[in-house]
Amino acid sequence: MPELTWQKSSYCQEGNSCVHIATDPTGTVHLTESSDPTAAILSTTPTAFAALLRTTQRRADAKTA
Protein backbone atom coordinates (compact mmCIF):
# COMPACT_ATOMS: atom_id res chain seq x y z
CA MET A 1 0.00 0.00 0.00
CA PRO A 2 1.40 3.43 -0.86
CA GLU A 3 2.07 6.02 1.85
CA LEU A 4 -1.27 7.57 2.79
CA THR A 5 -1.81 11.20 3.72
CA TRP A 6 -4.42 11.22 6.47
CA GLN A 7 -6.88 14.05 7.07
CA LYS A 8 -8.80 14.47 10.31
CA SER A 9 -12.55 14.98 10.24
CA SER A 10 -13.54 18.64 10.47
CA TYR A 11 -16.12 17.62 13.11
CA CYS A 12 -13.44 16.25 15.41
CA GLN A 13 -12.58 17.98 18.64
CA GLU A 14 -9.20 17.45 20.29
CA GLY A 15 -8.61 13.97 21.64
CA ASN A 16 -8.42 10.37 20.53
CA SER A 17 -11.91 9.88 19.16
CA CYS A 18 -11.44 11.18 15.65
CA VAL A 19 -11.94 9.64 12.24
CA HIS A 20 -9.15 10.06 9.72
CA ILE A 21 -9.58 9.55 5.98
CA ALA A 22 -7.16 9.11 3.09
CA THR A 23 -7.36 8.10 -0.54
CA ASP A 24 -4.80 6.29 -2.62
CA PRO A 25 -3.96 6.71 -6.32
CA THR A 26 -6.63 4.15 -7.29
CA GLY A 27 -9.34 6.21 -5.57
CA THR A 28 -9.87 3.74 -2.73
CA VAL A 29 -11.02 5.46 0.46
CA HIS A 30 -9.29 4.47 3.71
CA LEU A 31 -10.63 5.17 7.21
CA THR A 32 -8.98 4.85 10.60
CA GLU A 33 -9.23 6.28 14.09
CA SER A 34 -6.80 8.73 15.63
CA SER A 35 -6.05 6.70 18.75
CA ASP A 36 -4.09 4.18 16.63
CA PRO A 37 -4.08 5.16 12.94
CA THR A 38 -1.96 2.23 11.75
CA ALA A 39 -3.70 -0.62 13.61
CA ALA A 40 -7.05 -0.96 11.83
CA ILE A 41 -7.56 0.61 8.43
CA LEU A 42 -10.87 0.11 6.67
CA SER A 43 -10.87 0.41 2.89
CA THR A 44 -13.87 1.04 0.66
CA THR A 45 -14.95 2.41 -2.67
CA PRO A 46 -15.84 6.08 -3.16
CA THR A 47 -19.45 5.04 -3.89
CA ALA A 48 -19.81 3.08 -0.65
CA PHE A 49 -18.17 5.88 1.35
CA ALA A 50 -20.58 8.43 -0.16
CA ALA A 51 -23.49 6.18 0.85
CA LEU A 52 -22.14 6.04 4.41
CA LEU A 53 -21.93 9.83 4.55
CA ARG A 54 -25.48 10.25 3.19
CA THR A 55 -26.86 7.75 5.70
CA THR A 56 -25.15 9.30 8.70
CA GLN A 57 -26.21 12.79 7.61
CA ARG A 58 -29.86 11.72 7.27
CA ARG A 59 -29.77 10.20 10.76
CA ALA A 60 -28.20 13.33 12.22
CA ASP A 61 -30.80 15.51 10.49
CA ALA A 62 -33.64 13.31 11.80
CA LYS A 63 -32.40 13.67 15.39
CA THR A 64 -32.32 17.47 15.20
CA ALA A 65 -35.70 17.83 13.47
Using pLDDT thresholds of 50, 70 and 90, give the confidence band for residue 13.
Answer: confident
Phi and psi, residue 41, nearest 5°? -120, 120
Q: What is the pLDDT of residue 21?
A: 92
Q: What is the pLDDT of residue 29?
A: 96
Is pLDDT of 54 > 70? yes
Q: What is the pLDDT of residue 40?
A: 85
H or E element at residue 57: helix 46-64
| Dist. CA 64–CA 41, nearest whole Å | 31
Find all residues with CB under 8 Å of 44, minimum gap 6, and list them.
28, 29, 31, 52
